[in-house]
Amino acid sequence: MQKVSIVGASGYVGGELLRLLLFHPKVKINQVISREHIGKPIGLIHPNLKGKTKMVFSSLSELETCDLLFVALPNGKSMKLMDKFIHVGRKVIDCGADFRLKDGKLWQQWYKTPHTKTNLLNKFVYGLPEINRNKIKKATLIAGPGCEAIVSILCLWPLIKQSVIKPAAIIIDAKMGSSQAGSKSNQSSHHPERSGCIRSYLPTGHRHTAEIEQLLNLYGNRPKVLLSATAVEMVRGVLVTIHVFLKELLSEKTIWKIYREAFNQEPFIRIIKQSQGLYRFPEPKILQGTNYCDIGFEKDFHSNRLVVIGAIDNLVKGTAGNAIQCMNLMSGYPETLGLEFPGLHPI
């Protein structure tokens, strides 16, 4: 039985970690840490967990040693505390952005603040099991990817690996649910402002661009990612529509084979491409609460453009579920343990 704790347990990601870990057969949750809710019961902040645990939130000063520490803090916060976290947790999984990029200058370029722990950047393994599985198994420090980055990388990786698309202009249109902004409210999340909106909030300059390019550059293609983000009226979910251009006029059968060979053994990747029915392509709605990433595609019949469509639940495969998938690998557990929920329909 592994003893784990969660720092930042009162946020949406912390709540998802709790929801999943409370029922994980190989985990004992030792502490849940919150700055604002010290002494309060978990069910008060995460009402779906009422009656499932008697634990209360502890302060950071009370943090005890554990086998594995999950960190779910806002961007820029964990680097200031990572020396303490590494001392407390035998293994650490950081769900935030602080250790995703390997270059401190690149961090400052995209996040507009200096990185204060550049000496640790290369010690963290980028936590995407489908690509870094062997490294994750041996790692003690994991940097969890961003939600847009996870789904975009998984959609693009097989095509980049096989060098069948032009890397110079990869266009990603990401549609985002409101929970990806976190549990802190602001003017843009105020109900009269958010309800009914389709708001283009980052037409350019999305921070996850950097980590997508960083990982896809593994094969020397030097991809140029052009990412736009739009807020839509859903709570959970990310849908990416990616436009790429084939180097040659490949058939859909060939493209299907590329994806099948890349992901045939992956427990949480599903290739969704049907000729009929409502769910012919990936749809975030039916992925709520699941650790799946669904990927589909369609070739433009009058050009060499390929449209790739990917969907995830941003709080599960996009963050907490993916982190637990990493924990399972690091601990020698079955990779799917505690993550088997198939989703609901209708919902």
Active-site residue set: 147
Distance between CA atoms of residues 310 and 281, nearest Å: 8
Task: Classify the phi-psi angles of 163: left when phi > 0, otherwise alpha if psi is within -120 to 50, otherwise beta.
Answer: left
Residue type at position 118: T
| Structure token pair of residue 333 | 């557990």
CB atoms within 10 A of CB 246: 18
Residue type at position 236: R
Strand-pair partners of 4 = 29, 68
Strand segments (E) across the chain: 2-7, 27-33, 66-71, 89-94, 125-126, 141-143, 170-176, 199-202, 225-231, 238-245, 269-271, 293-299, 305-312
Closest CA to 237 of 139, 325, 347: 347
Closest CA to 345 of 296, 299, 278: 278
CB atoms within 10 A of CB 278: 8
Closest CA to 14 of 74, 62, 60: 74
Contact 339, 327 (CB under 8 A): no
Distance between CA atoms of residues 57 and 37, nearest Å: 6
DSSP letters spanning 157-186:
HHHHHTT-B-TT-EEEEEEE-GGGG-SS--
Alpha-carbon distances, residue 118 vs 132, 149, 235, 333 (angstroms): 21, 21, 34, 31
